[in-house]
Chains A and B, each alone.
Chain A
């Protein structure tokens, strides 16, 4: 357990400069991921903690058809926002099915996007083999006990899961991440923000060291769209997803005019199910369509013995949420 320096810069540019110049510095926001990794698990060592919680990046503003969410907005604040309730109900559902009130009071939207995996091998420094912690060391999860692990985007080098609930509807909505670095600002769609493990599972997203998420821009659903989030887990509350699905449908005369679908609990990154959406778009809102979409969404999974059950569970999760959102009986 290392000692670290604590600093609290006054403005965003100062914070970005501070972290960009120091390879051993890290931003601290809600702390619900970082403090565990540094102080409890001993997995991350830091020389300097840059507390950004008082920077002016907190708050929600509504445009005509988007919601602009400051990166330091807490999960509870976002869940309580009237526009979220009205126009993004599945975002609210996903938020309130995650963590617990105390954690949601602390955890920020930017931090939720950047949360590290809950893979127990990653979080245990006594385990030698973890390509995410120590590139090239192997993966203890592939041969060990696995359950809360990924089956899509996974490979023998890493099956660590991205456990966010919030990010599942956000990738379905084509949310955009706004980023500030020393060289200026840029924006990246959340669907292009995450990086599949490949040969370097330690690289998880497109951020350069020191770049800071300042805002997330979330397109609102059409007024007549319906949406829902289904989370399947080992116990009824306070647990990460085994599988989850976020769906938004615009249905006209029994036909799906526009579908948005994304999966949680199964991916190394929050998974947008684009092929399934293509199949759903223009198809009748009936059970055969839903099952066909589920089959497409779970094509070519990578499973180990402990995660094989998730393939069928995820398909049923998709069918169930599409039934719920469309009102079609099973």
Chain B
């Protein structure tokens, strides 16, 4: 009943034999050891498990690993390049967009999805884009500021951008 899947995660190719019922988030964490993607509610509510699949944000607790076969996944581990933080990560640092940090990987990936589609979002658009990501510490204010900071940074230095 197992199935062999081949996919790229953060630019690297993997081939594994998995059970059909294995969720993508468990594949990333338990099979690949990429524990940056978090599990919180496990019921498609909180957004902590958000990753990019074929260029769009998805909840990896609501997708089977076998469905990702042949696809391209980006997790929070794939954001920084050559040891340099992504502008979004830098923004969360500069604007103190986290307290406990548990929701942060999901917040970053949802923010990436937003900035790919809308490089210059208003605070209201940022809040709307992050409505599927729950944070119990910050009250969201600093998260919105962090995403704005990243958008400015990426406009000023397009090379730091989201497209890779």
Interface residues, chain A, CB within 8 Å of chain B? 1, 3-6, 28, 31-32, 35-36, 39-40, 49, 51, 53, 76, 96, 99-103, 105-106, 237-238
Contact = CB atoms under 8 A, between A and B. Distances in A.
A101 B64 contact: no
A96 B44 CA distance: 17
B72 interface: no
A5 B1 CA distance: 6
B23 interface: yes
A106 B64 CA distance: 12
Contact of A102 (B42, B43, B58): B58
A28 B50 CA distance: 20
B124 to A, nearest CB: 11
B110 A103 contact: no
Contacts, number: 79
B67 A51 contact: yes
B3 to A, nearest CB: 6
A99 B132 contact: yes
B83 to A, nearest CB: 28
A53 B132 contact: no
Contacts of B47: 100, 102
B66 interface: yes
A35 B64 contact: yes
A96 B131 CA distance: 11
B56 interface: yes
A51 B113 contact: no
Given A101-B129, A102-B47, A6 B57 contact: no
A243 B42 CA distance: 28
| Residue from the set A4, A49, A53, A103 with the largest chain B CB neighbour count within 10 Å | A103
B62 interface: yes
Contacts of B20: 3-6, 49
A233 B126 CA distance: 20
**Nearest 6 CB-CB pairs, A to B?**
A100-B132, A6-B20, A237-B131, A105-B56, A238-B131, A102-B57
Nearest to A30: B62
Contact of B63 (A4, A5, A35): A35
B62 A31 contact: yes
Given A3-B19, A96-B128, A101-B57, 20 more contacts: A3-B1, A28-B67, A31-B63, A31-B64, A35-B23, A40-B43, A53-B67, A101-B110, A101-B113, A101-B114, A101-B132, A102-B47, A102-B50, A102-B57, A102-B110, A102-B113, A103-B59, A105-B57, A105-B113, A237-B131
